[in-house]
């Protein structure tokens, strides 16, 4: 376990000793003594937060609307900077799921989430049993093994997304959001309307939104790494620095300079050191070549 210190943020962070055997699934463990209004920065994955500690995290999604305890959040949660997390004595396993495998694991499409939902609303009493079992385990590596085994079973039993949809997602991700989405439908032999409808219903966001989110995520992490906004804009497909500024403001409600200092992003180098475009957003189960299929 490592300690992450960034401004006022002090978190203990644990990582699995080996990559998950489920493609598109990554995990990290967090122990946070005091979580104070952490801005949730949109991310191109489905987030599964499994808490088990003495405290309980609170996700403030909108004025008067909160989610407590273990939660599931669709890709892009936090757009506009409106979602904050807080809590004391928080311990949790955070899982990032590629949208391609999320439906099979969760038993529901990310399109069914209105921002974030309680895991209990999806899995009923099983959510409480998971919390107890994670609390009974003595080490982080055992918690990761338990979580992976649980999610692997659900993944095998759940329905996959259409191969055409998985392939389109794969193209968006490996290009880091620089794919021309208008050509995706013709590549798989579908009509644009059909691909857009299936993509949205199965992954939780339309293709153009997916492109913007993936591109933003790549740009935001480069800002955190200390690169200048002008260079980031030029290298990540934005028309100019103003275009990057508008996109960052739309996704986070903050300027690029502010986003560069966000703990939510800065912790990734410790929590997900192998973070990469193909490492945890794709799934070999679904992303094979389907170009030209009729």
108 secondary structure, DSSP code: S
User: Nearest to residue 192, comparing CAs of 181, 202, 176?
Assistant: 181
Q: Give the confidence band of 286 by pLDDT, cuts at 50, 70, 90.
A: low
Q: Give the confidence band of 283 by pLDDT, cuts at 50, 70, 90.
A: very low
Buried b / exposed e along 69-100 (16+ C-beta atoms within 10 A): bbbbbbbbbbbebbbbbbbeebbbbbbbbbbb
Describe the chain by its helix, strand, coil percentages, rounded to 5.
45, 20, 35
Q: What is the pLDDT of residue 181?
A: 85
User: Nearest to residue 43, comparing CAs of 95, 5, 103?
Assistant: 95
Report the pLDDT averaged over residues 95-100.
Answer: 96
User: Nearest to residue 254, comparing CAs of 266, 245, 267?
Assistant: 245
Paired strand residues for 73: 47, 116
Cβ neighbours, 10 Å, residue 257 = 11
The residues spanned by each domain of the chain are 2-157, 163-271
Contacts of 233-236 with CB under 8 Å at 24 or more apart are 236/176, 236/177
Architecture of the domain delimited by 2-157: Sandwich (2.60)
Separation of alpha carbons 249 and 228, rounded Å: 16
Separation of alpha carbons 87 and 85, rounded Å: 7
Query: Which class in CATH covers the domain with range 163-271?
Result: mainly alpha
Q: Give the confidence band of 278 by pLDDT, cuts at 50, 70, 90.
A: very low
Range from 64-73, 122-131, 139-148 carrying the lowest mean pLDDT: 64-73
Separation of alpha carbons 225 and 265, rounded Å: 10
Check whether 285 has a pLDDT greater than 70: no
Per-position DSSP letters for 112-180, written without gaps between them: G-SSEEEHHHHHTHHHHHHHHHHHH--SHHHHHHHHHHHHHHHHHHSPPPPHHHHHHHHHHHHTTS---
Listed in sequence order, the DSSP H helices in the chain are: 99-106, 119-123, 125-136, 140-157, 163-174, 184-188, 192-203, 207-224, 229-235, 241-252, 256-259, 263-266, 268-271
Phi-psi region of 37 (alpha: psi -120 to 50; beta: other; left: phi over 0): left
Q: What is the pLDDT of residue 291?
A: 53
49 secondary structure, DSSP code: E
Q: Give the confidence band of 280 by pLDDT, cuts at 50, 70, 90.
A: very low
Report the pLDDT averaged over residues 43-65.
Answer: 87
Q: Report how far apart the first and last C-alpha atoms of the chain are (Å, whole number).
A: 50
Separation of alpha carbons 72 and 119, rounded Å: 6
The pTM of this model reads: 0.90
- Tens of pLDDT along 202-253? 999 999 999 999 999 999 999 999 999 999 999 999 999 999 999 999 999 9
Check whether 4 has a pLDDT greater than 80: yes
Q: Which has more pLDDT, 5 or 210?
A: 210
Percent of the chain scoring above 90 in pLDDT: 71
Within this chain, domains 2-157 and 163-271 share the same CATH topology: no
Q: What is the pLDDT of residue 175?
A: 94
Torsions phi, psi for 103 (to 5 deg): -60, -45
The answer to whether 70 touches 131, Cβ cutoff 8 Å, is yes
Check whether 276 has a pLDDT greater than 80: no
């Amino acid at each position: 376990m490592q300690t992450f210190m960034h401004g006022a943020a002090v978190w203990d962070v644990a990582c699995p000793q080996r990559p998950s055997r489920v493609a598109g699934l990554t995990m990290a463990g967090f122990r946070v003594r005091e979580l104070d209004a952490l801005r949730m920065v949109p991310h191109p994955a489905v987030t599964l937060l499994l808490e088990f500690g003495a405290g309980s995290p609170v996700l403030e999604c909108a004025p008067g609307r909160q989610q407590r305890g273990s939660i599931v959040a669709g890709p892009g949660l936090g757009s506009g900077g409106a979602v904050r997390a807080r809590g004391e004595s928080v311990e949790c396993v955070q899982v990032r799921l590629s949208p391609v495998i999320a439906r099979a694991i969760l038993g529901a499409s990310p399109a069914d989430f209105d921002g974030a939902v309680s895991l209990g609303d999806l899995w009923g009493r099983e959510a409480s049993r998971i919390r107890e079992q994670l609390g009974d385990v003595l080490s982080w590596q055992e918690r990761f093994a338990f979580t992976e085994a649980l999610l692997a079973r659900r993944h095998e039993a759940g329905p996959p997304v259409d191969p055409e949809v998985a392939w389109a997602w794969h193209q968006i991700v490996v290009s880091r959001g620089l794919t021309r989405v208008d050509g995706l439908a013709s590549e798989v032999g579908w009509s644009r309307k059909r691909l857009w409808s299936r993509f949205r219903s199965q992954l939780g966001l339309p293709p153009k939104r997916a492109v913007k989110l993936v591109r933003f995520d790549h740009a935001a992490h480069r800002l955190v790494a200390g690169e200048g906004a002008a260079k980031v804009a030029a290298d990540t497909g934005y028309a100019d620095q103003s275009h990057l500024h508008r996109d960052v403001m739309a996704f986070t409600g903050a300027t690029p300079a502010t986003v560069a200092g966000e703990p939510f992003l800065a912790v990734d180098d410790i929590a997900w050191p192998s973070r990469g475009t193909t490492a945890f957003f794709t799934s070999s189960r679904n992303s094979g070549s389907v170009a030209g299929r009729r």
